[in-house]
Amino acid sequence: MKGENRFNIGDKVFAKVKGYPFWPAIVLENNGKKYKVKFYGTGEIGQIKLEDMSYYSKNKHKFLKASKRKDFRDSIQEIEEAIKAAGTDGSPDYESDQMGDSISNDSISTNKNRGFPKKRKRSTSLSKSKDNSPAIKSKKVKMNTSINIARNLSPTSSLQNDEKNGSQVDLKKNEHDENSISESKIELNSSKKYHTEVEYDLDKVKKNTTHDKTLETERISTNKDLSDATNVQSITKVSSEDYTIKKELEAFIAFGEHVERQREIYSTLPVEERYDSELQNFPFFIQGKCIGIKLHSKWPLKSFSSEYERAIYDKNMSQCALETRKSFELDHLQTLSSKFIENLEINEDDVNTIFNEKLIAMKEKILEKLKIEGTMLQIDSKIKNCLSLHSADPEKAIALLEEMLTLNLNATMLKKHANVVDMVRRLRKYVGNLESWTMNDEEKNIFRKHAEVVKKTALKVYVKFMHIVGKPPGVDTFWDAFKTIATKFREETKDLSEGEFYVLTCEPHSRENFLNNYFIKDMSLCIPFQNNVTKDSDTDNKSQKSEGSS
């Protein structure tokens, strides 16, 4: 079938794999010639060509009878619920598609007490199983010691002051409501349910967690089949992530103490993702041997109701490991054998390399987010320049908005720069400044058509922002909710320096942010601090004080 021109992250589509019918899916990534999608009902991941994809709503009547399988019916129900929560499937023509006949409830109804859907078998082109399921290596861990820790990145995230440059989006004329799309309509479609994270981010977390659990199951099941004589040696074949050095344990203790001082905050926060393993250990060396102190005395771990509970567990676990090392004697290997892993095939250089690699991964994650944030600010500044009061280049603005749609933004970026959200909000009603510009009738007609595209594209970006940030219940519009959220964020970050605020890439009270700050002195971060990207910039304050809640 003939595909669409392009798709955006989060779009709900029908996607086809050779040998299988079209299947409901969500777009996770744009990889150039192909799109990475996740199939509803099965949870499988695929790389699909543009011509093998189409928006869900405009083609659901065509493909609904493609299969009578239970997992297909499940997938239909899942995507319908996702579209209902989002208010759109991402198609620019979604509202007009909804004018047609809706899918009958019978066609997507399923037993409420249904079991877990069976996974469909797909060709190897669907999944990167070779990449996601590495075999457990039995040889000694060999680490690459020639890693450039001081990798530099210079995101140019300058945001120019509107008055200084003499250019700003035409806000007065934007109050003209003709041919504009009101937010009340958006809210009606999308206020029922908001996700605090984009779906593809959740998928990545689940994927990594599943991978860790699968790896552990393989290790444990292998050990059960071995005799007692060989069990000690086989259990030493741990992954590099299982090694936790003294600096990390000290960081866990520091975070636990920090959490104890702010219990009222962390008692309300959900548990953050972190790596856990039955074989997780604190390695140390004695008489030429490497011995690991097991970090978890019981496995599997109990469930924790809040980040406070988990942080206190990590603190006590770390203190116990350090105390055990301090009082260790060789005969403990016999009397307290369950606490240790003997004969670890690793040396001190390997341990140092493992820690350096963790720092590099942490650093690269920070720099990647800052790079995306810088790109977002560049786009914001360019849009304001090309849609000024004196002249306008709407085609360029459309291209910039399309680029913003592709960015992997998070809520922290938007909270840091509320002016970006406000700019996109206002562009949904953009009409230009035709009364002051010298244009003939033909030029005016062309401009009006381009202005309509600007409004529609801005709407798509605004809907994306709504999904990223979310909307608390009891608030009429997303903008009202966002102003409250942004104000709270400013309060939480008021004690940060300009430099600390600039490198903030996650929620200020998160475990991730605490560990980033704890280890940042070891990361050799070379980042240019921008004087015009400040905590309390005029543009941010204007955004939150702007009139109306459209």
In tens digits, what is the pLDDT along the chain, a chain of 550 residues? 555 678 888 899 999 887 778 899 999 988 877 899 998 988 888 889 888 899 998 888 888 765 667 778 888 989 999 898 888 888 877 766 665 544 444 443 434 444 434 444 444 443 444 444 444 333 333 333 333 333 333 333 333 344 344 444 444 344 444 344 444 444 434 433 434 333 444 444 444 444 444 444 444 444 444 334 334 444 446 788 899 999 999 999 999 999 999 999 999 999 999 999 999 999 999 988 899 999 999 999 999 999 999 999 999 999 999 999 999 988 888 888 889 998 898 899 999 999 999 999 999 999 999 999 999 999 999 999 999 888 899 999 999 999 999 999 999 999 999 999 999 999 999 999 888 888 899 999 999 999 999 999 999 999 999 999 988 777 889 999 999 999 999 999 999 888 889 889 999 999 999 999 899 876 655 554 443 455 544 444 444 444 444 4
Same domain for 394 and 350: no
Question: CA-CA distance, 34 to 39, in Å (whole number)?
Answer: 15
The pLDDT, as a whole number, for residue 481 is 93
The pLDDT, as a whole number, for residue 98 is 64
**DSSP 8-state class, residue 211:** H
* Structure tokens, 48: 């699909």
Residue keyed to tokens 């009578």: 68
Among 354, 387, 417, which residue terminates a domain? 354
Looking up residue 48, the CATH number of its domain turns out to be 2.30.30.140
Q: Is residue 536 part of a domain?
A: yes
Same domain for 328 and 252: yes
- How many other C-beta atoms lie within 10 A of the C-beta of residue 146? 5
Same domain for 331 and 436: no
Same domain for 388 and 324: no
Q: Is residue 456 part of a domain?
A: yes
Q: Is residue 195 part of a domain?
A: yes
Q: Return phi, psi of residue 39, to 5°.
A: -85, 130
Same domain for 377 and 389: yes
Same domain for 247 and 328: yes
Angle at 84 between CA 271 and CA 111, to 5 degrees: 85
Question: CA-CA distance, 338 to 336, in Å (whole number)?
Answer: 6
Q: Is residue 1 part of a domain?
A: yes
- Burial degree of 156 (CB within 10 A; 0-12, 13-18, 19+): exposed
SS3 24: strand
Q: Is residue 363 part of a domain?
A: yes
Total domains in the fold of the chain: 3
Same domain for 455 and 349: no
Residue 315 structural domain: 202-354
Q: Is the torsion defined by CA of 390, 394, 397, 401 positive or negative?
A: positive
Among 354, 376, 397, which residue terminates a domain? 354
Q: Return phi, psi of residue 407, to 5°.
A: -70, 140
Same domain for 223 and 187: no
* Structure tokens, 291: 């011995």
Same domain for 409 and 453: yes
Strand partners, 127: none
The pLDDT, as a whole number, for residue 522 is 61
- How many other C-beta atoms lie within 10 A of the C-beta of residue 227? 7
Same domain for 535 and 439: yes
Q: Is residue 134 part of a domain?
A: no
pTM for the full predicted model: 0.56
CA neighbor of 374 nearest in space, from 158, 145, 525: 158
Q: Is residue 116 part of a domain?
A: no
Same domain for 296 and 209: yes
Q: Is residue 106 part of a domain?
A: no
Same domain for 366 and 266: no
